[in-house]
Amino acid sequence: MTGLRFLYPAFVFVVVLFLAVLLLTFLTRSRWRIERRLASLQDIKYTSLRERQLALPFHQRTIFPVLSQVSRMMEMLTPRYATRMLDRSIRDSGLEGKVPAGILLGGIGLSAVLIPASLFLLGTVAGLGGALLIRVVLVSFALALLIPLLILHTLVQKRKSEITCALPDLLDLLVVSVEAGYGFDAALTYVVENMKGPLADEFNRALQQMRMGQLRRVIFRDMAERTNVSELAMFVSSISQADQLGVSIGNVLRTQSESMRVARRQKAQYKAMQAPIKMVFPLVFCIFPALFVVLLGPAIVNVLRSFLF
């Protein structure tokens, strides 16, 4: 027990330092890659393999190899359908190419091991009971597995909501640009240059693929599958049909813009109708008790005084 008291602060310090370095690595990885690439282009030297490995940053020599090993183990233990769902969630959240699925699995695996282990040592030093300590360890293990997935799900829903809200505005700008004499590709380029957000980023990516010679309907279909937004999929389907049948793009865009506006108005009305139901819980549990105390408190005190004194 005495030995554990001396080992626990060091162990907690190492765990916290490791998680901090891991977070810093994820946030600054792209900048370090660009700086390292520029430095290698400016000063090319022929060095040995050991010197090149020692010249790498600390996180690439220590953390990334550990994460890669843990990610391989997690991929072996994770069912194939769960891995595919994780890849799809990463793609829908807009983190594709920024956070690989293997690195995310490795981080989840390490947190699921380190956090329960640190809590187990803390509980052992504090002298917690065996049953309570086991419950704390199991709950921390479950939270370490679920919290990253919940955060990823929140990012996915936020990105879908931003795309859905920005789509009617983008269609309005497209209609105005096409009616002003622009072609569809030129109008889309003008709109993308004057908008920001995930929807503008997706259309900018589509424009880059069109410049490389890919078919528009194939690009838009891939974009609809990548974003997984029903309103955008309906817009892509209409544009593809208009492109195949030779229908005027301006009429299709105007019809789609009106339908999107109506759909957004209906969704706002639906949420407004849900507001009274959602207000019941804070009213009953937060506002009404305080109101009862203020209004009925003096009367209750007077009644008690009349009966007791």
266: its two tokens: 């209906």
What pLDDT is recorded for position 68?
67
Residue bearing tokens 């956070």: 99
- Looking at the chain, the whole-number percentage of residues with pLDDT higher than 90 is 0
What pLDDT is recorded for position 27?
58
pLDDT tens digits, 192-208? 888 888 888 888 888 88
Distance between CA atoms of residues 188 and 190, nearest Å: 5
Q: What number is the average pLDDT over the span 287-307?
A: 81
What pLDDT is recorded for position 134?
82
* Mean pLDDT for all residues in the chain: 76
**Out of 76-80, 133-137, 148-152, 178-182, least confident range:** 76-80
**Out of 104-113, 275-284, 293-302, least confident range:** 104-113
179: its two tokens: 């009616």
Highest mean pLDDT among 30-44, 75-89, 279-293: 279-293
44: its two tokens: 């090319």
Topology, domain 162-265: Receptor-associated Protein (1.20.81)
pLDDT tens digits, 125-141? 777 767 777 888 888 88
Q: pTM above 0.75?
A: no
Distance between CA atoms of residues 201 and 197, nearest Å: 6
Where are any strands of DSSP class E within the chain?
none
pLDDT tens digits, 154-184? 888 888 888 888 888 888 888 888 888 778 7
pLDDT tens digits, 10-59? 666 666 666 666 666 665 555 656 666 666 655 545 455 566 666 666 55
What pLDDT is recorded for position 268?
83
Element (H, E) at 99: none
Q: What number is the average pLDDT over the span 58-69?
A: 64
What pLDDT is recorded for position 14?
63
Where is pLDDT greater, at 184 or 2? Answer: 184
Q: What number is the average pLDDT over the span 82-100?
A: 74
pLDDT at 274 over 80: yes
CB atoms within 10 A of CB 186: 12
What pLDDT is recorded for position 64?
66
Domain ranges of the chain: 2-127, 162-265
pLDDT at 249 over 70: yes
Q: What number is the average pLDDT over the span 221-249?
A: 81
Distance between CA atoms of residues 9 and 4, nearest Å: 9
In this structure, are residues 166 and 191 in contact, taking their beta carbons and an 8 Å threshold?
no
Q: What number is the average pLDDT over the span 208-225?
A: 83
| Length of the chain counted residue by residue | 309
Q: What number is the average pLDDT over the span 220-237?
A: 83
Burial class (CB in 10 A: 0-12, 13-18, 19+), 120: middle
